């Protein structure tokens, strides 16, 4: 048997490991030295033919070399796993297309409304969905024992907090921190404790508007809302004001828009009246200005509150408000 030269073997094996370009190469190197018929395996098997002294010495060295090479091969492996040209990871395979989502119809409508009002000089403001009784009621001229509180079916929480029933509390929050003149819109989510049906939900969205200045009048309100609606529905819209009551405005009115379907001629959507009820509005009540820290002798303005869901339903001809909230993809995929 030729003299066993473990030193040369080690140098050769290290070179082979170094040269390996992929997992296949590495496997070949493993087989060459450590496999069943590998060079080191054969050496270990032939130890029995050596003298006792030789056996001990060579046995120890060969075992050490075996461990050393196993370790070296193991260390090189991870580098190949991801980017080898083998089948493990084929960079040329086309990736699966990611399904990209899209904006919810209410988000589309909110952004459009914000854009139209911003173009008319309004700022977009937000406020908390959890309110206290002061902002949701008292400061809006609705004291604790006032029957008008019954209009809003409220979710009361602990610690005298509640889920806001309208976006009007943000009027007060804004006036507390800002001096007139100003014009703002406040899109936001609101909550009502009521039974759901095609036109009622326990939560929906409103856009509040508030414009205060030295001589802001109902005429300004009419012009701005008519312009807003015409831009939003992409057609000329007429409005009419009917006297109505909200504790936080005086005078108060209900705003009707000419029917977006029949242009006012009368059809089934508008119950043959030619008009659609759209929003509540009015001139800001002096008590509300006072609650917001503004002197009603120097300043006046208008406020309005419009249902965003209702605007979206009219624009896209949706007949059930619950469709916005139940996550049915057959509905959502249409937007």
| Bridging pattern class, strands 182-191 and 123-124 | parallel
Helix (H) or strand (E) holding 85: none
**Contact region with ligand PHE (CB under 6 A), list: 12-20, 28-36, 105-113, 297-305:** 297-305
The distance of closest approach from Cβ of residue 100 to ligand PHE in the complex, given in angstroms and rounded to an integer, is 36
206 is catalytic: yes
Q: Which of 127, 169, 187, 305 binds ligand PHE (CB under 6 A)?
A: 305
175 counts as binding ligand PHE under rule CB under 6 A: no
Residue from 206, 257, 281, 300 carrying the catalytic annotation: 206
**CB-nearer residue toward ligand PHE: 80 or 253:** 253
In the stretch 266-295, what mask flags binding to ligand PHE with x, by CB under 6 A? --------------xxx-------------
**Contact region with ligand PHE (CB under 6 A), list: 7-15, 104-112, 181-189, 298-306:** 298-306
The distance of closest approach from Cβ of residue 167 to ligand PHE in the complex, given in angstroms and rounded to an integer, is 7
**CB-nearer residue toward ligand PHE: 65 or 278:** 278
Reading the block at residue 154, the tokens are 């409220």
Reading the block at residue 202, the tokens are 């326990």
Q: What is the DSSP string of 112-125?
A: HHHHHHHHTTPEE-
Q: Which residues pair with 183 in a beta bridge?
A: 211
The distance of closest approach from Cβ of residue 270 to ligand PHE in the complex, given in angstroms and rounded to an integer, is 21
Residue from 13, 20, 29, 249 carrying the catalytic annotation: 249
Residue from 284, 288, 291, 303 carrying the catalytic annotation: 303
263 is catalytic: no
Place of tokens 């937007």: 335
110 is catalytic: no
166 counts as binding ligand PHE under rule CB under 6 A: yes
CA separation for the pair 244, 151 (Å, rounded): 13
Residues 6+ apart with CB under 8 A from 246: 252, 280, 282
Q: Taking CA 328 as the corner, what is the angle to CA 326 and CA 333, rounded to the nearest 5 degrees?
A: 130
87-96 burial, b at 16+ Cβ within 10 Å, e below that, comes to eeeeeeeeee
221 counts as binding ligand PHE under rule CB under 6 A: no
The distance of closest approach from Cβ of residue 254 to ligand PHE in the complex, given in angstroms and rounded to an integer, is 9
Place of tokens 């209410």: 106
For the chain, give the number of residues: 335
Question: Are 122 and 183 in contact, with CB atoms under 8 Å apart?
Answer: yes
Phi, psi (rounded to 5 degrees) for 242 = -115, 140
**CB-nearer residue toward ligand PHE: 69 or 212:** 212
**Contact region with ligand PHE (CB under 6 A), list: 67-75, 176-184, 233-241, 302-310:** 302-310
């Amino acid at each position: 048997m030729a003299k066993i030269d473990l030193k040369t073997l080690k140098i050769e094996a290290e070179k082979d490991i170094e040269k390996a370009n992929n997992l296949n190469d590495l496997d070949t190197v493993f087989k060459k030295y450590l496999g069943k018929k590998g060079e080191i395996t054969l050496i270990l098997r032939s130890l029995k033919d050596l003298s006792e002294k030789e056996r001990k010495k060579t046995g120890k060295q060969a075992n050490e070399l075996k461990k050393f090479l196993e370790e070296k091969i193991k260390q090189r492996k991870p580098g190949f796993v991801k980017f080898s040209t083998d089948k493990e990871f084929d960079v040329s395979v086309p990736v699966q297309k990611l399904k990209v989502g899209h904006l919810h119809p209410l988000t589309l409508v909110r952004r459009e409304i914000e854009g139209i009002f911003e173009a008319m000089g309004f700022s977009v403001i937000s406020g908390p969905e959890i309110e206290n009784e002061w902002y949701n009621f008292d400061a809006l001229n609705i004291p604790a024992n006032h029957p008008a509180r019954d209009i809003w079916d409220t979710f009361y929480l602990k610690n005298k907090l509640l889920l806001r029933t309208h976006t009007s509390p943000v009027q007060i929050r804004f006036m507390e921190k800002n001096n007139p003149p100003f014009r703002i819109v406040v899109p936001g989510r609101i909550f009502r404790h009521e039974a759901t049906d095609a036109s009622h939900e326990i939560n929906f969205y409103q856009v509040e508007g508030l414009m205060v200045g030295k001589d802001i009048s109902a005429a300004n309100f009419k012009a701005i809302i008519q312009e807003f609606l015409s831009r939003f529905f992409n057609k000329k819209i007429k409005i009419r004001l009917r006297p109505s009551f909200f504790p936080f405005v005086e005078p108060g009115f209900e705003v009707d828009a000419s029917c977006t379907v029949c242009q006012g001629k009368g059809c089934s959507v508008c119950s043959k009246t030619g008009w659609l009820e759209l929003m509540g509005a009015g001139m800001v009540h002096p008590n509300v200005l006072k609650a917001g820290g503004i002197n009603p002798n120097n300043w006046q303005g208008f406020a309005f509150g419009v249902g965003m869901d209702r605007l979206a339903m009219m624009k896209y001809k949706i007949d059930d408000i619950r469709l916005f909230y139940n996550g049915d993809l057959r509905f959502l995929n249409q937007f």
